[in-house]
Chain A
Amino acid sequence: MSYSEPAVADEINQRFVPVQVNVQTDVAKPLVQRYRQAWTPDLRLLAPDGFELYRWNGYLPPFELLPQLLAAQAHGLLRLDDLARAAAVYAEVLQRFPSSAVAPEAQYFLAVSKYKASHESHDLLGGWKVLQARFPDSIWRVKQSFMEDG
């Protein structure tokens, strides 16, 4: 189980306030209904007011869970308009986990975070050029392909 991995536990304790809910219990019913929970594992990243910022389903081994956790934090920060911290965490995903499944998504949104902060087109297009070069087969490359030549 990935949660027993010390590196995973450390990251969760440092970055988040973790809450665990057993969906088979009666006490979980209000939260299951509130968040329209349907299938486990189901992880949600919430703002302090309970608003859902990001979510994913399914088991991940430690080497994919760690970058997913960081990417989730970065997405949350981006949605809260904390652009500098979002960019820093996306960059950390790419630096520490360059071959992880979420790396292309992190590259896409690293460019978005920088652009939203600077309003400089080269921050967006330059970051997406890196995406094209490093992750040519990714769906995130496809999602910016309208910007590509030809």
Chain B
Amino acid sequence: MTTIAWLSDLEPACQQAREHGKLVLLDFFSPV
């Protein structure tokens, strides 16, 4: 089953986004 490859830190995500020409999707969540 496909799962989302969530990162937990913004800076590495921004670096990846730069390298791959993507945008960052930032999800603020609160466990229920």
> Main SS of chain B's interface residues?
mixed
Please judge, given known A-B contacts A3-B4, A6-B2, A31-B10, whether A16 and B29 are in contact too, CB under 8 Å. Answer: no
Contact string against A for B residues 1-32, beta-carbon threshold 8 Å, 1 for contact and 0 otherwise: 11111111110011111101011111111110
A58 within 8 A of B: no
* A84 contacts chain B at the CB level, 8 A cutoff: no
Contact B29 A15 (CB under 8 A): no
A6 nearest in chain B by CB position: B2
For A12, list chain B residues within 8 Å (CB).
4, 25
| Cβ-neighbour of B17 out of A9, A17, A72 (below 8 A) | A17
Per-residue CB contact flags for chain A residues 1-39 toward chain B (1 = under 8 Å, else 0) read: 001001011101101111111111000100110010100
Inter-chain contact A48/B18, CB cutoff 8 Å: yes
Name the residue of chain A whose CB is nearest to the CB of B14.
A48
- How many residues on the A side are at the interface (Cβ–Cβ under 8 A)? 38
Determine whether the beta carbon of A24 is less than 8 Å from that of B13: no
Set B1, B14, B17, B29: member contacting A21, Cβ < 8 A: B29
For the A-B complex with A37-B28, A76-B23 known, give 7 more contacts whose Cβ atoms are closer than 8 Å: A13-B5, A17-B14, A21-B29, A22-B31, A46-B14, A46-B25, A48-B24
16 intermolecular pairs with C-beta atoms under 8 Å apart: A6-B1, A9-B2, A10-B2, A16-B22, A17-B22, A17-B23, A18-B27, A19-B27, A20-B7, A20-B8, A37-B28, A43-B28, A48-B23, A49-B14, A72-B25, A73-B23
